[in-house]
């Protein structure tokens, strides 16, 4: 027996947008036993599997085009206008669980586009949320993950800058500063979700308090990859697990302290399972 002292970071786990989407899905599944969802409801395979056992059916956009007369959940990431147009054409009832923070951002970008502003979005190429944001501009906005992707000398002298809601606030303002120093007037729109961005600092503090950190996250989670790196920088003995099968007993020593934390897409029940498992080692 290792007699590990195990503690879960209570600030980890689902953000309110994900909680909202999953609660909506569970309510409908409890009543009807079946619900389609456009894309993974959350980037965590264990949680998706749990909901699939209740009747959730994950579909992609190609499958959506073939669907008729059904209910379809829009996950927290949001969708572009084309998805809503398709739903009307196919007589689909959309259960819209788009995060309120994302919806507000979509509306602001649409207003900027209607004013014919030059829109730049700091975000991950191909990310579901970013696809929805681009859709507000007829795909005319410029998306970039790093300033190196932009030829600053050829940028318009005045731009409107937005960010994917889950990006780093520090990095966002660094980008603003560099652009301003290069003579570009930036109309800055800080639309970053603080519940997500504040996790960075919280985890830096948390990771320093334990001998070992077990970071629980789905392998598809962008947020998970970033926050795992944050923990690893603070505590070299940080290990990434997506399920109990990933946990290895050789990581631990007798009587050591273990902190369990996760991404905004990590269910608390999964972190609790990991804790129970560790306490039995």
- Give the residue numbers annotated as catalytic, written as ranges: 129
Name the residue among 98, 99, 28 with its Cα closest to residue 70.
28
Confirm if 105 and 80 have CB atoms less than 8 A apart. Answer: no
Residue 53 neighbours by CB under 8 Å, 6+ apart? none
Extended strands (E) in the chain:
5-8, 35-38, 56-59, 71-74, 93-96, 119-122, 142-144, 158-163, 185-188, 212-216, 238-241, 257-262
Residue 114 half-sphere exposure toward CB, CA atoms < 13 A: 6
Diameter over CA atoms, the chain:
66
**DSSP line for 210-227:** SSEEEEE--TT-HHHHHH
Measured at the CA of 230, the angle between CA 258 and CA 12, to 5 degrees, comes to: 60
Residue 139 half-sphere exposure toward CB, CA atoms < 13 A: 4
H/E element, 234:
helix 222-234
Query: Tokens 């084309």 map to which residue?
Result: 82
C-alpha to C-alpha distance for 121 and 161, rounded to whole angstroms: 6
Name the residue among 167, 150, 158 with its Cα closest to residue 187.
158
């Amino acid at each position: 027996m290792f007699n590990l002292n195990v503690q879960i970071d209570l600030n980890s786990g689902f953000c309110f947008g994900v909680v909202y989407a999953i609660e909506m899905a569970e309510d409908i599944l409890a009543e009807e036993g079946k619900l389609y969802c456009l894309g993974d409801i959350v980037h965590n395979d264990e949680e998706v599997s749990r909901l699939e056992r209740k009747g959730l059916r994950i579909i992609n956009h190609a499958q959506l085009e073939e669907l008729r007369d059904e209910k379809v959940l829009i996950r927290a990431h949001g969708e572009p206008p084309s998805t809503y147009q398709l739903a009307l054409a196919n007589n689909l009832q959309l259960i819209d669980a788009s995060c309120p923070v994302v919806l507000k951002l979509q509306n602001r970008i649409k207003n900027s586009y209607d004013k014919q502003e030059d829109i730049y979005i700091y975000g991950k190429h191909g990310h579901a949320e970013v696809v929805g944001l681009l859709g507000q501009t007829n795909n005319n906005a410029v998306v970039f993950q790093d300033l190196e992707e932009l030829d600053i000398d050829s940028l318009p002298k005045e731009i409107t800058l937005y960010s994917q809601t889950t990006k780093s606030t520090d990095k966002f303002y660094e980008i603003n500063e560099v652009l301003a120093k290069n003579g570009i007037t930036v109309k800055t729109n800080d639309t970053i979700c603080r519940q997500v961005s504040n996790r960075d600092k919280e985890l830096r503090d948390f990771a320093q308090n334990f001998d070992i950190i077990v970071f629980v996250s789905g392998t598809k989670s962008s947020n998970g990859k970033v926050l795992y790196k944050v923990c690893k920088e603070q505590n070299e003995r940080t290990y990434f697990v997506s399920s109990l099968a990933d946990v290895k007993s050789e990581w631990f020593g007798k009587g050591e302290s273990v902190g369990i934390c996760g991404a905004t897409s990590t269910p608390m029940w999964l972190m609790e399972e990991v804790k129970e498992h560790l306490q039995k080692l």
